[in-house]
Structures are given as C-alpha cells and as structure tokens.
Amino acid sequence: MKTRALVLALAMIGAGGCSEASNDPDNVDVITWWNKHGEYQAMQRLIDIFESKYPNQTVNHAPYGSSDDARERIRDRVIAGNPPETFQANGGWNLLSWVAYNNLDARDSKLEELDRYATWASAMPPAVLDTVRFDGVIYGVPLNIHRLNVLFFNKQVFADIGVPPPTTETLHTLDDLFVLCDAVKAKGRAPLALATRDSWPLAHYLFENILVARAGGEYYRNFFRGMQAQDILDSAQLRASIADLSKLLSYDADARNRTWDAAVDVMRTGGAAMTIMGDWAKGYVDGKAEEEQTPVALGAIPLPGTADTFVFTTDTFSLPKGASNQDGALKLLDLVGSKEGQDEFNLVKGSIPAREDAAINRYDDLSKATIAAFHAATLDPSRLVPATSVIAPPDYMTQINELLADFAGTSGDATHADRAGNVSVVVYGLANRADALRNSIWHY
C-alpha cells in the first residue's frame, strides 16, 4: 500500500481516529471503528486491493476507538456538509437512520441512492438486501455477515481440567450452560470472561443471546417491532431473561473492567474457559495468534438454546451526499460488493461474505460451519434473526444500554442478589420505551 496511507492510518489509531477531511480529489476518506486485531488488518487488505487497482487513488482510513466515537465523528462531518467518501454502519437502522433522518422519510436522506451501481445485489439474499433498503431503494453495500449468538471456548482449558467441552449435542439450553459454568468453577477455573466496561455488550448478552435462547426468535422480533407496553410488563420470558443476565454476570466479577477484546483475551490465553461474543472474536483471536505466534485451540458453538437460530448483523458502506470524491467512493463500494473484496476481507475479519458465491474452500472449519448455518437460515426466515443494530433505532439502543448498565452495576459492586431485586426496574424501563419501537418509520 502507499506509505502515506499507512502512516496516516496508524496515526489515526493512536489518536483515536481524530482526523479531518483531506480535501484532496484523489483521496477516499473512510471512517470505521475497526481498530482491533483482525478487523483493522481485514480493512487494510481491502485498501491494498483498491490502491493496486486504482494507483491514482489513496484511501485515508480513520478507525476510531469505538463505534460511538466513529458515529459521532460521522455525524459531525455530515452535518457540517463535509462528509467522508464512505463510512461503516451496521445494516438496518444504524445505516438507514441516515436515510430516514430524524425519523422522517427519504426526502431528507443524507445518502445517495445506489440501485444503479448495485451490480453485486443479485449475489446477495433478500434478507441481507433488506437491511440496506428503504422504500425499496438501496442505500448501502453489505460487506459481510456476523453471527452474534456464539459461545467461544478454549479447548485446552477444558482438556486441562478434565471437563467435556461445549457441544450442541450436550448443551441444549441456557440452564445446561449454567451447569457447565458451575462444573468449570468447581475445578478452580473461571468459567466465563465477560465485558461490561462499555454498555453495548449487555444488550448483546441479553437480547441477541439470552432472550432468543429463552423465548425464541419470533418473540425477539415481536419485541423489537414494538410490543405493547402491558405485554412487556406481563412477560414471564422477559423477566426470566433479565434474571438470566444477572446470573451470567455472576460468573465474572471482573466484567466491569473489560472491553470485548479484553474478555476475548482472557479466554484466548486460558484465564477463562468461555466467552460470549459475535464472531468478530474469531478474527481477533486469529490476528493475535498470528502476531504472537501462539496458536489457540479455539472452539465455537451457537449459544445453548439458539442452535437453530442465526442472529446476524452486516457491516455496510454507503455514499454520503456531498462526498468530494464520488468517483473514488463508487470504485471502493464496487470492491466492497465484489466477490474478490468480500472473500479477502472476511478471511481475516472472522465474518463471512454477504454474497452467496463465496470461495468456501478458502475458509477454515469454523467459518465453513457459519456459512452453512447462514445459508440454511436464509431459507427459513423464522430462523434468521436481525441484531438490535438492524432492528432498533440507535437512540433507543443508547437509552437501553444505559438502563442495562445501571442494572449491571458496572460502576459499583452489584451482586446477583442486588440485581435480582431490580429486574422489575428494567422491565418497566423497557415498557416505557416501547413506543419508540412501534413508532419507527422503518421496520425490518
């Protein structure tokens, strides 16, 4: 890649992505939150391919320290009329909030329509295309698919303590997982490494994993379509799921000090037997293993209770209105949607291509299993469940994350017993915000 682009990208990581627009007609400014092992290298692979194909174009990749930081910077630049050429957004509401701006119709869209450029669309299943469509018009390019309902585990830890590792044949429910956690704990090892220093993993644990395991995908979808407040208040499944979240947190008193990658590190290095995270964790583990030359015996299964369900999100890129180098942006978006671009990116990221014509033989066994599970789920819509980033407005999730952070006691010493008395607080908080889902202008 070009030396200038590499220096700029590395500088942005060190500075938390605090960059300004280049105003160079040959630059393609890209904002993401991909600054961890695996994800940064995956994006760099795309950039290398792009700059090889278009030597007169230079990609300025600005990976911010968190998704919140990246979204804030994107918002600042879009509002100021100086948008980047493209930026990362999860498909669904996270992307389409720029189209239905302020929950209005597409007349005030901050993104260009992409239908006439979407030569890649025929290679993607309708369930994926639906995450980038508003009123039938395409506004983003899906780059990948992440599975969110994943239990990762360190095979060596289980071998060391003589406890059988997780399998879909032996762990059918959340209660089975809790029994396994107790068995690992009885051997003197930490069963789980969790992450609640940032609030978003709490929603990840509760909704995209526990709620689906307890109540099923259809209940989850109905909840995020705007279930009536009284139905939320009366829901035994929801109360049980919140109690399950508390029990899950009881297995890791240090969760409040960890980000998601730190939790994966604890599992990766044998400090805990398991972790729950989207399959970007796989790319992170692979990247660290390559850097440190320390292979990890990594195992993964769907979270017990969700084996027949695929909870997914997709990372997308769009074309903001007013981008100064539209030609360069469209060339990059074409690569993002291409078979070459998706295979090269996802082999490193730990995700799988959004396209259905992936070079499957190039992927390892864990990714092959994910590809097969996703393709099976696209044939049965009841099994394919959109992530909260797809199905819920960003402002709603910000409020819910704050509610769950209070419940988890991430800034204090809350115990399982302390939280048990606060289940109703969370239920009432969710009920009070039900209208925000029901009144959304876009629904998946």
The pLDDT value recorded for residue 415 is 67
Cβ–Cβ < 8 Å for 102, 393: no
Task: Confirm whether 444 is domain-assigned.
Answer: no
- Regarding whether 155 and 258 lie in a shared domain, the answer is yes
Judgement on whether residues 133 and 207 belong to the same structural domain of the protein: no
- The angle, 0 to 180 degrees and rounded to 10, between the axes of the packed helices 39-53 and 3-14 is 160
Instruction: State the helix-helix crossing angle for 394-408 and 236-249, rounded to 10 degrees.
Output: 60
- More confident call, 62 vs 265: 265
Average pLDDT taken over every residue of the chain: 92
Same domain, 157 and 203: yes
- Give 66-91 pLDDT, tens digit per residue: 898 999 999 999 999 999 999 999 99
How high is the pLDDT of residue 10?
A: 37
Beta bridge mates, 60: 29
Q: What are phi and psi of 87, to 5 degrees?
A: -155, 155
What's phi and psi for 263, nearest 5 deg?
-65, -40
Structural domain including 232 reads 150-311+383-438
Do 367 and 408 share a structural domain? no
**CA-only gyration radius of the chain, Å:** 21
| Residue at which a domain ends, from 378, 396, 416 | 378
Residues 199 and 114 in one domain: no
Q: Do 154 and 130 fall into the same domain?
A: no
Amino acid at 214: R
Is the predicted pLDDT of residue 410 greater than 80, yes or no? no
Per-residue pLDDT tens over the stretch 273-305: 999 999 999 999 999 998 998 889 999 999 999
Confidence check: pLDDT of 430 > 90: yes
Same-domain check for residues 189 and 281: yes
More confident residue, 97 or 18: 97
Q: Is pLDDT of 196 > 50? A: yes
CA 141, CA 138: separation in Å to the nearest integer? 8
Reported confidence tier of residue 370, pLDDT bands at 50, 70, 90: very high
Q: Are strands 58-63 and 27-32 parallel, antiparallel or unpaired?
A: parallel
381: which 2 tokens? 């819509």
Weakest mean pLDDT among 33-47, 241-255, 419-433: 419-433
Q: Which three-class secondary structure state does DSSP give residue 411?
A: coil
d(CA 170, CA 215): 20
H helix or E strand, kind and range, residue 265: helix 260-268
Q: Contact at 8 Å (CB) between 192 and 270?
A: no
pLDDT exceeds cutoff 80 at 414: no
CATH number, position 257:
3.40.190.10
Share of the chain above pLDDT 70, in %: 92
Query: Do 251 and 189 meet the contact criterion of CB atoms below 8 Å apart?
Result: no
Non-local (6+) Cβ contacts of 301 within 8 A are: 150, 151, 153, 166, 167, 168, 171, 307
Kindly tell me the burial class for residue 409, based on how many C-beta atoms sit within 10 Å of its own C-beta (0-12, 13-18, 19 or more): middle
Measured between alpha carbons, how far is 38 from 284 in angstroms, rounded to an integer?
5
Q: What is the pLDDT of residue 419?
A: 77
28 with 58, same domain: the answer is yes
Question: Which strand (E) or helix (H) includes residue 319?
Answer: none
Q: Are residues 165 and 284 in the same domain?
A: yes
Q: 0.95 exceeded by the pTM?
A: no
Query: Nearest-5° angle of CA 307, CA 310, CA 315?
Result: 150
Query: Which pLDDT value is given to residue 381?
Result: 85
Asked if 393 and 352 sit in the same domain, the reply is: no
- What is the structure's pLDDT at 16? 42
Measured CA to CA, the distance from residue 386 to residue 391 in angstroms comes to 6
Please tell me whether residues 123 and 174 are part of one structural domain.
no
For the stretch 309-348, pLDDT in tens is 999 999 999 999 999 999 999 999 999 999 999 999 999 9
Cβ distance 200 to 389 under 8 Å? no
